[in-house]
Chain A
Amino acid sequence: AQSVTQLGSHVSVSEGALVLLRCNYSSSVPPYLFWYVQYPNQGLQLLLKYTTGATLVKGINGFEAEFKKSETSFHLTKPSAHMSDAAEYFCAVSSNEKLTFGTGTRLTIIP
């Protein structure tokens, strides 16, 4: 069965600093991987996804993630954090017909 592990339930960065949210996956087949963002009192919104092809995936709001098969990782990064990035971020892997989510990482931006 596929699964994802998010390291760090809470991450705090200063405004303008690099954002790095970690996700490792476990999959018996080539995975499809996703990052979703959840703003307070909202549903989940897709940031980016990896299916096939280029391993560096660019998403919305300046986020990107790199699929590294050798490390079974799909870490999310953004070069410069903005106050509006404060939210909860979920990594997910597709398994046949459904998505399995990680436990989430709450990102706090320090002014």
Chain B
Amino acid sequence: DAGVIQSPRHEVTEMGQEVTLRCKPISGHDYLFWYRQTMMRGLELLIYFNNNVPIDDSGMPEDRFSAKMPNASFSTLKIQPSEPRDSAVYFCASSLFRVRMNTEAFFGQGTRLTVV
């Protein structure tokens, strides 16, 4: 397996524009996580899915953020409208569930988003 694949690797957009980040998890994994990494706040869990169903979106900063997982092999994180403070690296990760999640999460290489 090629691992978790994220696209694009880099995105530069103007404030107010819609941004869509994409993730393909590892085949067979039933959990998918979206994280955001900034210098100020470190790694924050935004939302996670189990079997394509959103389980916990309490980390989503505001209504401008939305995430979907239409099938087991694809997820999107959308920001509309984007703001400069959304600039960060966004990571997608997937995991195969075991009891109390004692298995590792596999991370993609991230999407570096810059909103100007």
Bound-state Cα–Cα, A40 to B115, Å: 21
Residues of A close to B108: CB separation below 8 A? 43
- Number of residue pairs across A and B with beta carbons under 8 Å? 54
Bound-state Cα–Cα, A98 to B104, Å: 10
B42 at the A interface (CB under 8 A): yes
B66 at the A interface (CB under 8 A): no
Interface string of B89-116 (1 = CB under 8 A from A): 0010100010011101111111000000
Of B33, B104, B107, the residue contacting A49 (CB under 8 A) is B104
Interface string of A76-92 (1 = CB under 8 A from B): 00000000000000100
Of B31, B43, B48, B104, the residue contacting A34 (CB under 8 A) is B104
Query: A98-B45, A104-B42 given as contacts; is B100 within 8 A of A44 (CB)?
Result: no
Contact between chains at B102 and A42 (CB < 8 Å): no
Query: Which B residue's beta carbon lies closest to that of A50?
Result: B102
Query: A94-B101, A97-B101, A98-B101 given as contacts; is B110 within 8 A of A43 (CB)?
Result: yes
Interface residues of A (CB under 8 A from B): 32, 34, 36, 41-46, 49, 51-52, 90, 94, 96-104
Of B4, B33, B43, B100, the residue contacting A90 (CB under 8 A) is B43
Interface residues of B (CB under 8 A from A): 4, 31, 33, 42-43, 45, 48, 50, 55-56, 91, 93, 97, 100-102, 104-110
Closest 9 CB pairs of A and B: A43-B107, A51-B102, A101-B43, A46-B104, A44-B107, A103-B42, A94-B101, A32-B102, A43-B109
Question: What is the minimal beta-carbon distance from B11 to any residue of chain A, in angstroms?
Answer: 15
Contact between chains at A94 and B102 (CB < 8 Å): yes
Residues of B close to A97: CB separation below 8 A? 31, 48, 50, 55-56, 97, 101
Query: A49-B104, A96-B101 given as contacts; is B110 within 8 A of A101 (CB)?
Result: no
